[in-house]
Structure 1
Amino acid sequence: MGCTGSSRAKGDENAQKIRKPKPWKHSEPITRTQLVQMRDEFWDTAPHYGGQKEIWEALRAATEADLTLAQVIVDSAGVIVQSADLTICYDERGAKYELPKYVLSEPINLMQDS
């Protein structure tokens, strides 16, 4: 009885800490089009790094939602959030999911497309 309740409670506790990522800077200024392309490439290849496709899909939906909806998505999917900004998460089976900052927020040196 305690094992199941304990691990679930820990997951719930971690998931409640979701917050907006800290500002970051890309190595060189990029445009919104380039950022979108980088994000699309990451999400297209992410399931090949391991983990469950459904969890990757939930994480993508969470990164594209506001914080309140993101919280609901990760809770519903059973995602255990290690880093409050979603950069490191685990599923209930212990598979690790690492998200780069560029899928979580925009860099401070984002340029307008020409």
Structure 2
Amino acid sequence: MGIFVLYFADSTKKVRKPKPWKHPQPITVVQLRQMRDEFWDTAPHYGGRKEIWDALRVASESEVALAQTIVESAGIIVSNADLTLCYDERGATFQSCAKYELPKYVLSEPTNLIQDS
């Protein structure tokens, strides 16, 4: 499962994987999946458009080339290099754009992930 970041530099968008991170406590694959499912089930209730949340979910679960295509075609503006803060292009300014905040655990696996037996 690949999670990727979109950079805007000289009008050229470059996608790459996020940096490694560590969860406060070791967690299992099942626990991580439950946390992700909970986030994606509730994310649209925080504001923004459901289709942008859906696009972010698919992009976060895709390989590099597909993730880049999804983000570009959905009109998503990536603010943070690790995809934790995004906006949509519908507003004329950042103040009128919807804000989309993604926790690290939906973007990649922690370094202290426990493999289920």
Settle same-fold status: TM greater than 0.5: yes
Q: How does 1:50-69 map to 2 (within 5 A)?
A: 50-69=47-66
User: Which of the pair has more CA radius of gyration?
Assistant: 1
Give the counterpart of 1:104 among 100, 104, 107: 107
Conserved 8 A contact 1:32-1:112: yes
Structure 1 distance, partners of 2:16, 2:81, is 6
Runs of 4+ residues over 6 Å off in structure 1? none
Kindly report the root-mean-square deviation, in angstroms, between the aligned alpha carbons of the 2 structures. 1.6
% of aligned pairs identical? 73
* 1:20 to 2:23 alignment: no
Secondary structure, aligned partner of 2:100: strand
Give the counterpart of 1:49 among 36, 46, 51: 46
Structure 2: gaps (5+ residues): 1-7, 92-96
After TM superposition, give the deviation of residue 18 of structure 1 in Å: 3.1
Letter in 2 for 1:108: T
Q: How does 1:80-99 map to 2 (within 5 A)?
A: 80-92=77-89, 93=91, 94-99=97-102
What is the TM-score with the length of structure 1 in the denominator? 0.84
Structure with the bigger percentage of helix:
1
What is the TM-score with the length of structure 2 in the denominator? 0.82
Structure 1: gaps (5+ residues): 1-9
Letter in 2 for 1:48: H
Q: How many residues align?
A: 103
1:4 paired residue number: none
After TM superposition, give the deviation of residue 84 of structure 1 in Å: 2.3
After TM superposition, give the deviation of residue 83 of structure 1 in Å: 1.5
After TM superposition, give the deviation of residue 112 of structure 1 in Å: 1.4
Conserved 8 A contact 1:18-1:86: no
